[in-house]
Structure 1
């Protein structure tokens, strides 16, 4: 026999629902809050209570919120309640960002790190970076709600250990959550970089309002953050979305995962720049390749188009299995724009089911490469009210 809810327990539940919506979606109108299953009068009562406590504040929407008339007044979490951190451990660099409880990006920064640096040493450098950034924005560690830590590769769900496909070899067979928790001494969560990037584009970028999205993230490797029915999907063992290990050429080069002809061996940044060595006699960065392509360099345009076609083949297979409504391209290949996306779409259209009828849009993400993952990592913390409660104030 269930115990009937008391008025006080019902009120706590209503507050939790409103707070959860504001943590997940940012500032909302009162009418939008009523759509979470509460009456307008209940929403008004809860908001009045939270405003009196200083937990929420009124926010005027931006000028582009409506084409005509007065911008609507929204309610959102008070940004001074605390901060969430995003940390990306990537090849050659550690990136970090701080967002407040109003989901505003306060600061982001990065430091170079050698790929052979042991995990503990990398995290100590990351901790120093975090402390310097907190001081810059006037917050302390006591006000940190949590840290989202992004890793470049799959994390095995059952063991919490980085798999062999992780592009940072000192981190293979390492439990990143346990190691980061010991070094940083802060509450945290750990996930794949592409998953966090997908979350960022859903929250602030090109995928706002979408429920089924594939975010293809290119860095040292190529991965996909998959959002199915509004939730991140990692698979039974954490390896969903490893698009870079899709087989493109069975007789191709051996990949670091042990397979042959993986997408990463044909279309990641290293593969692209290596293809230009003979013609350009220089080891260009991927940013150099894109800049040269944009001013008409035929070789650079060719290798980017080839990469787009290879990614399109893998994306078609992914589309045939999952049917996303939108595919977003982010990471270090995204600045190539249509030089990459045109061939990608053409390759995908040749292989996708019902091509030309329901083929999803393929667009470049709206968030910059150096912030998309760390903003998503911070957003994951802000969304998780159960694991990361707000600091007492």
Structure 2
């Protein structure tokens, strides 16, 4: 969802964006490269490459220098011109409006993270009050002088399903006016997406799945959701409703879910559901920290409820993996802090239900970015989709 910028997303625009991202990714991976080396790595035609590089130089995303400091001198003619990402081109900002907190992060064109910050808040704060917090946190990261430069957009994550413009979700969180409010406060276009999907994107760039292009991410928190990264890009689905793994049915006779269904994964594997199961088994825990403390003390009830939840999670993930064929599964959220007590049963269920050919080709990993993952995903959204297209 985009506010404040006209979207030009025809075939030629998408092709050019892909070429620009290819060149930027090569410079991130290899550092300083000549145009000839870029041509070898990218396999773009000479004409196309020079056009793309010219645009990147004009936008300030890339800078040129006469030669690399350690390059061998050319025997004749002009020195070889080399290209690098320009870390001074501007700052990309990501904001995650979680249920009870605001998380922000900042990075530059070279994907170097400038910093991150978080602040908890009451659940009933207005969007204006949450935006006040976001502005204050952003100023704390940038010294009060935000320099967008070529990166003239901010990426924002929100809780719950989020449709494409013109789409209609069966259930959705009310975010009316938020994109316009953010555009007014920051003065740049706003790229809006589900914060769990953005966390999936961030884990594939900076986190547990860094460098992997096909990733399934699952967050086990007060809600259960996820995201798909396919070919290095975030997959949103036809109406922007992909990644709702928490609403896959695991028990047709189970508890009602807030989505209107029955027996969804969220009804057995969210933080609240697991705590309810633990208390029903005779345990006493008001929050996930108390449950984990009971687990560390050897409480068999804590172990059993986590095993039951992990088994259901693994069964759902196996079905997802059989459908989309990822190379990596990343599990995040507060419940993931249970470690092997949860991931062990997840892996057992995966092995039991996934295609035999996939069993030794799939890595199960724990998320590493924590609560700032959604904000970092917002940054990646800006860097990938709009940073070099905003002239």
User: Normalising by the residue count of structure 2, what TM-score does the alignment of the two structures yield?
Assistant: 0.77
- Aligned in 2, Cα 1:79/1:312: closer, same or farther, shift over 3 Å? same
Native 8 Å contact 2:248 2:264 kept in 1: yes
- Aligned in 2, Cα 1:179/1:307: closer, same or farther, shift over 3 Å? farther
SS at 2:317 equivalent:
helix
SS at 1:155 equivalent:
coil
Measure, in 2, the Cα distance between the counterparts of 1:172 and 1:143.
31
SS at 2:156 equivalent:
strand
- Aligned in 2, Cα 1:21/1:317: closer, same or farther, shift over 3 Å? same
Aligned to 1:148: 155
SS at 2:313 equivalent:
helix
Residue 370 of structure 1 pairs with residue 371 of structure 2 = yes
- Aligned in 2, Cα 1:98/1:213: closer, same or farther, shift over 3 Å? same
Native 8 Å contact 1:315 1:348 kept in 2: yes
Considering only aligned residues, what root-mean-square deviation do their CA atoms show, in Å? Answer: 3.6
Measure, in 2, the Cα distance between the counterparts of 1:80 and 1:292.
49
Measure, in 2, the Cα distance between the counterparts of 1:25 and 1:336.
39
Native 8 Å contact 2:151 2:382 kept in 1: no
Measure, in 2, the Cα distance between the counterparts of 1:205 and 1:85.
18
Which of the numbers 260, 276, 279 marks the counterpart of 1:277? 279
CA displacement 1:123-178 (0-9 Å, x = unmatched): 23322322333226x544678632111122221124367762x5xxxx33636534
Residue 172 of structure 1 pairs with residue 165 of structure 2 = no
Aligned to 2:166: 159
Residue 37 of structure 1 pairs with residue 40 of structure 2 = no
SS at 1:145 equivalent:
coil
Deviates further, 338-347 or 15-24: 15-24
Aligned to 1:135: 143
- Aligned in 2, Cα 1:147/1:18: closer, same or farther, shift over 3 Å? closer
Native 8 Å contact 1:193 1:373 kept in 2: yes
CA displacement 1:265-303 (0-9 Å, x = unmatched): 11011212233335343402x244335424533333222
Aligned to 1:320: 322
- Aligned in 2, Cα 1:296/1:368: closer, same or farther, shift over 3 Å? farther
Native 8 Å contact 1:349 1:355 kept in 2: no
- Aligned in 2, Cα 1:177/1:26: closer, same or farther, shift over 3 Å? farther
CA displacement 1:55-100 (0-9 Å, x = unmatched): 4389x9xxxxxxxxxxxxx964222221011111111111111112
Aligned to 1:218: 220
Measure, in 1, the Cα distance between the counterparts of 2:169 and 2:189.
19
Aligned length: 353
- Aligned in 2, Cα 1:19/1:239: closer, same or farther, shift over 3 Å? closer
Native 8 Å contact 1:194 1:225 kept in 2: yes
Measure, in 1, the Cα distance between the counterparts of 2:17 and 2:214.
29
SS at 2:153 equivalent:
strand
Aligned to 1:205: 207
After the TM superposition, which segments of 4 or more aligned residues of structure 1 sit over 4 Å from their partners?
13-20, 38-43, 140-144, 160-163, 355-359
User: Normalising by the residue count of structure 1, what TM-score does the alignment of the two structures yield?
Assistant: 0.77
Query: In the TM superposition, what is the alpha-carbon distance from 1:16 to its structure 2 partner?
Result: 9.8
Residue 104 of structure 1 pairs with residue 112 of structure 2 = yes
Measure, in 2, the Cα distance between the counterparts of 1:14 and 1:322.
27
Which of the numbers 353, 357, 365 marks the counterpart of 1:351? 353
- Aligned in 2, Cα 1:194/1:33: closer, same or farther, shift over 3 Å? farther
Aligned to 1:82: 90
Native 8 Å contact 2:96 2:104 kept in 1: yes
Query: In the TM superposition, what is the alpha-carbon distance from 1:262 to its structure 2 partner?
Result: 0.9
Measure, in 2, the Cα distance between the counterparts of 1:23 and 1:295.
47
Native 8 Å contact 1:98 1:378 kept in 2: yes
